[in-house]
Structure 1
């Protein structure tokens, strides 16, 4: 039997009340869901931040073996590992001189400066006098030593002659203002050499000159010697710059330089026979553009992956493989279960070995680039973000990785440039910073000349002395 509705208004009122109650329930649930979503987003962000902080302790530490971190910033533990671990693979040979290795030792001079005869004047058994017995030569030895060092003072007496015409003639330079006692070229060269090449600070250098050479001088005098060498070295520095502009392959690098309470940048441009270091206030591409100009278009640059080098119009480019191998070493330590970083490492090492086996031959790079492309197609999204970041970086510079195979003049790494700036790091580790621009500029100029002399197997001290004689 059907139910009959007798009061429609009461029924509608009841339904309206139920709808309102359901709407309130929905609104309350919506508010609660929104609050839960906000909490989820907040917890997700906190989780990401905490994971990032935790990864610092879970990931392997970056040191000079697996990154570009300088040894001076390594921890004590990393330094111990670095000194006992090498990126080189074991050769299987015993340490020391190898078979057919040509031994080199000190040779006796044919004409010694002094000869001293040593013989016994009495018998050590019975005590009999042997002074009248003629001795028989047993063997000859030589001792190399230094003579007692003492400064040599030369007095110059200047005369003037008056002609019958009344003209006064002087055959020497005008009288110096101030002290009439000066230091000679050898002392200036030794002081400059010890300060720049051996990185001896002014105070210790003044003490050394006093103790060893009996030459008394102030720190201000040492600074004047270095500045004098800087002034006289400018033509040589200009010559080095001109030679670099004509060089087909040039290595570049830059490093931080603390100077006069600010951070400057030390730049180096070098070849196998030339080194040029200079200071700049930044590390952008404009530094090289202003210094070398159109000559960059004729150079093959060997650099790291710093972005400033890739906006310059070089003839060609070679990326330093040593930097890449260190980054790959870090990825291998980060996740030893994967094979990608190991395969790329083996490929780069094989290419370097190919160049070492054929040092003067041209090797086609297409097959090597194809092998690299196959590795760069790998999907690394399931690994740490650092893997994908390096893969993308290799994709950008793939055309500049194996250029050293096609041109034997191009080295596979930029280690020579890093060795050229190592002297700066030693200097700053000892002295901390440069106090003035002129001191920093003098160091870079004199270091350029000394390092160029060393590359050409010449005496660095003699090179500085030659500069001072100009």
Structure 2
């Protein structure tokens, strides 16, 4: 069943991905999740790099929108489209506003909030043809990303460079009804591992960590489907 979950993930239209640090016999390792509304696939890796994801999904996700944070290894994955977690972007922007009080940071924060609010208002039919409100937000983003911030703090310069590099992955959620604006689903998918780390601090062996990943994948997938069936 574990392999079947992986294969079904690979063919899903929307996939969320995330990772969290774990310890195995006092050594650093990583627990990755690849999840959908119906599935959760967890896997353990000693590396946080792109190679692990590529070995697991050799063709990437050519039919999927892949929702992640800004980890370079995640953004490097071949996918139909990417969606960056806007919750992560908003946290960074809030920090810039608190520390630097730049007007640009406030405008970008407002843009993302407006986009998320618009998402909540869109109906299925609104995705079938170009939407004027979506286009207005898209144009606002383009203008903000063209702003010259060379005189601002390096952290803000790095942030806008990252956004420009991944500009096609910022507002994908406004064009696809089932694509969320954040990666909260993936963060929930690895929450059990975080709880286990707080309680037991580590896995004693790699075998034990892998067993945990397999069991939680099957259990979480079963739970997700039972909730869907109840609806």
**TM-score normalised by length of structure 2:** 0.90
Separation in 1 of the partners of 2:59 and 2:158? 33
Deviation at 1:243, TM superposition (A): 1.2
Q: Any idea what SS the aligned residue of 2:160 has?
A: helix
Q: Any idea what SS the aligned residue of 2:182 has?
A: coil
**Conservation of the 8 A alpha-carbon contact between 2:68 and 2:75:** no
What's the counterpart of residue 324 of structure 1? 89
Larger helix proportion of the pair: 2
What's the counterpart of residue 185 of structure 2? 416
Separation in 1 of the partners of 2:96 and 2:3? 44
State which of 113, 119, 122 in structure 2 corresponds to 1:349.
113
Separation in 2 of the partners of 1:397 and 1:241? 27
* Match status 1:439 vs 2:204: no
**Where does the alignment leave 5 or more consecutive residues of structure 2 unmatched?**
none
State which of 16, 28, 40 in structure 2 corresponds to 1:251.
16
Deviation at 1:389, TM superposition (A): 1.5
Deviation at 1:241, TM superposition (A): 1.2
State which of 259, 269, 275 in structure 1 corresponds to 2:34.
269
Separation in 2 of the partners of 1:354 and 1:396? 24
**TM-score normalised by length of structure 1:** 0.46
Deviation at 1:313, TM superposition (A): 1.9
Say which one has the larger Rg: 1
Number of positions where the alignment pairs a residue of Structure 1 with one of Structure 2? 222
Deviation at 1:265, TM superposition (A): 1.1
Q: Which has the higher contact order (CA 8 A, sep 6+)?
A: 2
Separation in 2 of the partners of 1:284 and 1:366? 35
* Match status 1:380 vs 2:149: yes
Larger strand proportion of the pair: 2
CA offset digits 1:226-281 (Å, max 9, x no partner)? xxxxxxxxxx1112112112211111111111112311111100001100101011
**Where does the alignment leave 5 or more consecutive residues of structure 1 unmatched?**
1-235, 459-470
Separation in 1 of the partners of 2:74 and 2:8? 20
What's the counterpart of residue 104 of structure 2? 340
1:359–1:263 distance in 2 versus 1, CA, 3 Å:
farther
Separation in 2 of the partners of 1:334 and 1:276? 38
**Conservation of the 8 A alpha-carbon contact between 1:369 and 1:398:** no
